[in-house]
A and B are shown apart, each in its own frame.
Chain A
């Protein structure tokens, strides 16, 4: 399948370019496919390519030495990932995995440098993309560093236990994130942490509080 000019035009990097300029860039773009759960990038490896998601979704994440995962971003069609190492020459700062069938458009590092040299006007777009990314990551750093998110998620669960007579209010992870003043990605990790602590058990659409006292202790940490 040929790389579509309309797609390149929709990518923030190239939005200001003429069709003739896009045509010259198209020649440097290659396709890469991946299946669900396939790793697209590995943290620490040398970076070779910049990627744009053409269809599907990519999860960009860090993994701790203990195997815990922290999602940094979810990359949707039209968005790019692996930008930073392409421009600073360092290794991949995070891993990336396909969340479903995935089609990527890639540009090799040296080709991207040539594109920037030949079309310097896109530098401003690149700065905008990178600035947006920094803003997102700064917000995530704040959540992970200063907020007792786990205890706040624990408190939210405690306050929303369903009554004996029937269902209590049901909460999505997005709603819990809004209540805790954090990102959905952080709530997902907090729920996993609470499960590992033995305070809750996640059973499909039910969060079962298995150890009320343990949950209360976690709540008290931040109060």
Chain B
């Protein structure tokens, strides 16, 4: 399964700002809860993390060393 942003439901207040900025339509609101649509591929622009006023969304990077 493709990597997706992580939503901390305890911090999320369902404001939906992340849904508006998501250019891939990965995020949606279901019953005031931000939900990830797993079938859509996220391009990891991290805009959802940048705009979240409560710090509920995280888009972590894995750091790897390219083999020579």
Residues on A lying within 8 angstroms of B by beta carbon are 36, 55-57, 74, 76-77, 99-101, 157, 160-162, 167-168, 170-175, 184, 188, 201-202, 204-210, 212
Contact = CB atoms under 8 A, between A and B. Distances in A.
Given A204-B43, A209-B65, A210-B66, A172 B60 contact: yes
A3 to B, nearest CB: 20
A173 B60 CA distance: 7
Given A172-B61, A174-B55, A209 B49 contact: no
A55 B19 CA distance: 12
Interface in B12-49: 15, 17, 19-23, 42-44, 46-47, 49
B22 A204 contact: no
Contact of A157 (B15, B44, B63): B63
Interface residues of B, number: 27
Contacts of A56: 17, 20-21
A209 B63 contact: yes
A196 to B, nearest CB: 17
B65 A161 contact: yes
A77 B17 contact: yes
Given A174-B49, A204-B43, A204-B44, A162 B63 contact: yes
B64 interface: yes
Interface of B: 3, 15, 17, 19-23, 42-44, 46-47, 49-51, 53, 55, 58-66
A56 B62 CA distance: 29
A99 B21 CA distance: 5
A76 B50 CA distance: 11
A207 B66 contact: no
A157 B8 CA distance: 24
11 contacts: A57-B17, A57-B20, A76-B17, A100-B19, A161-B64, A174-B55, A202-B61, A204-B42, A205-B44, A206-B62, A212-B65
Contacts of A55: 20
A57 B44 CA distance: 18
Nearest to B55: A174
A22 to B, nearest CB: 23
A204 B64 contact: no
B3 A204 contact: yes
A168 B20 contact: no
A172 to B, nearest CB: 5
B62 A167 contact: yes
A99 B64 contact: no
B14 to A, nearest CB: 13
B22 A100 contact: yes
Given A57-B21, A204-B3, A172 B62 contact: no
